[in-house]
Structure 1
């Protein structure tokens, strides 16, 4: 589940963006979201009005009006120095809202424990409105895109663990958005993911700049022959997942992702992030443990109780 290249679906995955970055349908509401979003990224700090204006691009008058109302409603607080932070009113709303997202409540402690056992970062990714959103992160990822709130489009060749168990019509639609050079491979990979229970992202992080440059060239005004050659170079650089006969003594593994089901639909994934070389045995062991973690979270979500999941010890 690694962001790969450029702004076009057919070149890989679209750019990763923060939640709420699309053009706002209601600018006044968006301004409130901007301010709360900024303060939420600086929990424990109080920010000056000048800094809030600078980082949100709001006018001083607008930012002051938004903060005055938020403070009156106890969603923010203003200290003696005139700086702003999150208020207890917002905490109350957030805690009430948690009941609408049982998986996050059920998964937070288990993924932290799983991360500690494996000695690598782990994150939870959930499906929402045709995209995948990172909702919880345990450990300290080496890849900067792994952080809560990051949104990944449900587009090939990534997020395969969300499509491998989907109805055939959904898989065909997803495959229809893939680069033609990747489609046969993706069909084989989806079958392998279903068989073993997890996907593997093998793209080395240092390949991304080259892929982005090639994608930008391909999508610029160039002749068709050159565009086709650039597309072929991109296909050569991207190797999607590992098929069973492709594992060697050392295998580059960025992430290993296993599905979490709600009914028959993959609603989320638990994603381990080794970002290193693993032997075939190490990769299989990590994949098995990640799949078992996904199975445990699926069972907990099905039960949807408040019983702590720490008694479930996958692997």
Structure 2
């Protein structure tokens, strides 16, 4: 049962069928069918007319309750709210689910503004695999073996840039997503890469590399340059300096390099406050 739930959570962005679950878990089809039926009766899964299976309302309500009592979310929330007040812009908190997966937990919006419309990989509750070039703030402080493995998942033409970018993110303390909204559909496809045929997976990765320039290097972020940022992400760490989450500001605008650096420093400070709060309240 646990394997089936884990599979549906992992493939939530793909909305799997029974056949997908059988293939991913290697559990016999009859057993998967019985488990899905039982979980659907409990409201933990939901079956649809197109034969796909999604997370059910009972599971989502339980997950939300768990988030509400989550010490990491408790640590991130006040830092997130202060960042939004300081920048007058939307921000969100993401957390690590396991070594290879993160999810967006919640958004925070300036007072008086409607909640942001979310789509693609940044939809709350959706599992996101740590695949290049996204989620650099979760990877930059990992050990060398983890960084190398992450970089090697990218097209070879992007690897030198990614290695330089990870070093730059570690140096300045935050990542910058500089691609435009027109490319978000391509990023969204990354969530399903593990279920694609190999040739198509490689083609999508190569297309992403062609469409976007990954992050900024120091020489590209001069004070007077006009630069654009979709998001700015800074890591939340635990008492062992492991990255367990991230505070992510969402400028969605162009500005001077000087202004972008200030925004990045403000985001990093919010993440540091969340890290200290998390550490102190776990003692």
TM superposition score normalised by structure 1: 0.64
TM-fit CA distance, 1:114: 1.9
What residue number does 1:70 align with?
A: none
What residue number does 1:17 align with?
A: 13
Q: Secondary structure at the match of 2:276?
A: helix
Superposed counterparts of 1:258-277, under 5 Å: 258-262=234-238, 263-277=240-254
TM-fit CA distance, 1:143: 4.8
Superposed counterparts of 1:114-193, under 5 Å: 114-129=83-98, 130-139=100-109, 140-141=115-116, 143-145=118-120, 146-193=122-169
Matches of 1:16 and 1:121, distance apart in 2: 25
Superposed counterparts of 1:274-289, under 5 Å: 274-289=251-266
TM-fit CA distance, 1:301: 0.6
Deviation digits for residues 94-133 of structure 1, max 9, x if unmatched? 37x754x201122223312321321111111111122111
Structure 2 gap segments, 5+ residues each: 1-9, 26-31, 110-114
- Residue 243 of structure 1: which of 217, 242, 256 is its match? 217
Structure 1 gap segments, 5+ residues each: 1-13, 39-51, 59-65, 68-74, 76-85, 222-226, 307-315
Aligned residues: 242
In structure 2, relative to structure 1, the CA distance for the partners of 1:165 and 1:133 (3 Å cut) is same
For the 8 Å contact 2:36–2:45, the answer to whether it is kept is: no
Superposed counterparts of 1:175-254, under 5 Å: 175-208=151-184, 219=199, 234-247=208-221, 249-254=225-230
Give yes or no for the alignment of 1:108 onto 2:81.
no
Matches of 2:281 and 2:255, distance apart in 1: 35
Matches of 2:182 and 2:123, distance apart in 1: 19
Matches of 1:113 and 1:211, distance apart in 2: 29
TM-fit CA distance, 1:141: 3.2
Task: Name the stretch that deviates more: 20-29 or 140-149.
Answer: 20-29
TM-fit CA distance, 1:294: 0.6
For the 8 Å contact 1:18–1:149, the answer to whether it is kept is: no
What residue number does 1:63 align with?
A: none
Deviation digits for residues 37-62 of structure 1, max 9, x if unmatched? 88xxxxxxxxxxxxx9879979xxxx
Give yes or no for the alignment of 1:298 onto 2:269.
no
What residue number does 2:3 align with?
A: none
TM superposition score normalised by structure 2: 0.70
Q: Secondary structure at the match of 1:271?
A: strand
Matches of 1:231 and 1:20, distance apart in 2: 22
CA root-mean-square deviation: 4.1
Deviation digits for residues 178-223 of structure 1, max 9, x if unmatched? 111110000000000000000000111113457899x99x9459xx
